[in-house]
Structure 1
Amino acid sequence: MLGEAHYEPVELEIGGTRRTFDIDDPVLPDWIDKKAFSSGGFPYDDKLSSQDYEKTLEKLQVELVKVQFWMQAKGRRVIAVFEGRDAAGKGGAIQATMANMNPRSARIVALTKPTETERGQWYYQRYVATFPTAGEFVLFDRSWYNRAGVEPVMGFCTAEQYEHFLKQTPRFEKMIVEEGIHFFKFWLNIGHEMQLKRFHDRRHDPLKCWKLSPMDIAALKKWDDYSEKRDRMLKETDSNHAPWTVVRANDKRRARINLVRHILTTLDYDGKDKAVIGDVDDRIVQTAAAFLKDDKRA
């Protein structure tokens, strides 16, 4: 068994059916394997081919390099927040975005749990300390939105703190935008069976087993609670100045390409090649309002 931990089988309810999920069993159950890709109402039957993905992504990454030159010349700043359930593909999407950007002016922020000192500060303070200077592109692998999801679900904040966050965050983000920062918020959405498949893959992959934690296992029974918190977060913190962009991510390749396309389409940078960028797939990328109206979402 990879890793030192041993996990007991978990009883889950999926689609009105009780299921037993033993993540330590190296054989992925058929009921997960057959439903994973289509779970959550994913609109495609097959993955985008690796050849099409790599060819398209490379062209888009050339455009991202142009974005960096434009940012440095004009002193522009960009923040992109990547949120989603565990195993939604946030890290991979971030890496695809910045793979060929100059790391001196493009960086990832992935903060650990707050220190005792940070817990006594204004909640947003430790995030603000990492914001970009002129010419910088900062990508948040999780963000202040921990307080809208994992913290209330797992009991890491009080109900009062949660409500205060939902009320204050649109105001906080308005300050970000009014400061002149280009601000993106992405929610990567996956279906229930797809999350289970990715957890199982991590458990039995010697290169990725470290990604699975007891916290992930504890959260398995809280799918509906996470869904409820996600929906309220999207409703309460989606705004004209800082809208949410929901990316259907059962197919990581389509998710990454269309996420990058969205960034490139939004920014008005020098040398922009619209023909190369192409059109964002509206079956993959949705507004928060459209997602919340979709009865097939997970």
Structure 2
Amino acid sequence: MAPADMPAPTSRIGRFLDSDVWASFTRSKLTMLAAALTFVFIAMAVFAGVFAPQNPFNPAELDLLNSRMPPLWDEMGQAPFLLGTDEQGRDIFSAILYGLRISLLVGFLGVAFSATLGITLGLVAGYIGGAVDAVIMRIADIQLTFPAILIALLVDGVAKAVLGGHLDEIMTLSVLVFSIGLSFWVQYARTVRGSVLVEKNKDYIAAARLIGLPAPVIMLRHILPNVLGPVLVIATINLALAIITEATLSFLGTGMPETMPSLGTLIRIGNNYLFSGEWWIVAFPGIALALLVLAINLLGDWLRDALNPRLR
């Protein structure tokens, strides 16, 4: 074949659009709906200052005379409070947008921390083996006997006791990320370790050892790219779990403060007024949290099936 007749190299985007993963995505309307909903939530959280009619964190924009107003479609509702207000005169719609930003930030940072820790320990345990593998896996087995929320509560309580009971918003956010990250690293470590045990006996790893590459280079450059598929699935599912865990901690009063509320904090605040008739204070943040977690879980389920070679 002449060089002029050879097909032009396909870009990465072109290869992705021709892949089985993209075909599986376009065939599932439910997955496309979940992806669109997730994108809308993330966009509204990132651009909350643009979409929100009020900054709920700015006391200068709050008016107690506007407290506990019902949604706009109610006869007592007033513009621009589309979903009503809470006891501080805070617009519920604006609070949900800013609360989404906090919940997603904690979720993404918690997943990033737990994935980094779990992948590192899984690579080390699987590649080195021996006593190092035994120690890491026994620690993982012990942690698996405790629920993730209990681990998060324990770590959160210890961190606040060490750092002091009165933490600012940034320190509280950091403690939440740290506690959630320590709650979910085990799944990454066990999955990566199992994949490393298979990959390290293959010929390309033997060739890398033969030319004298150090162990960290082999683990990061050669083994890690081949085990990222299952890790991506776990990360997607754990994002929803991290958001739920943060909401649970905030609902229990150990998460984000009322001055910087997440969706869990908004639900906790609204729960105090549920039986007094102001149902919208708790209902709409709860619906937003449920839709966000459902959309992410649907994406995780699709990604698990799409990357499973047995289902292709």
Greater relative contact order structure (CA < 8 Å, 6+ sep): 1
> Which TM-score bucket, shorter chain as reference?
0.3 to 0.5
Bigger share in strand: 1
TM-score by length of 2: 0.32
Bigger share in helix: 2
TM-score by length of 1: 0.33
Structure showing greater radius of gyration is 2
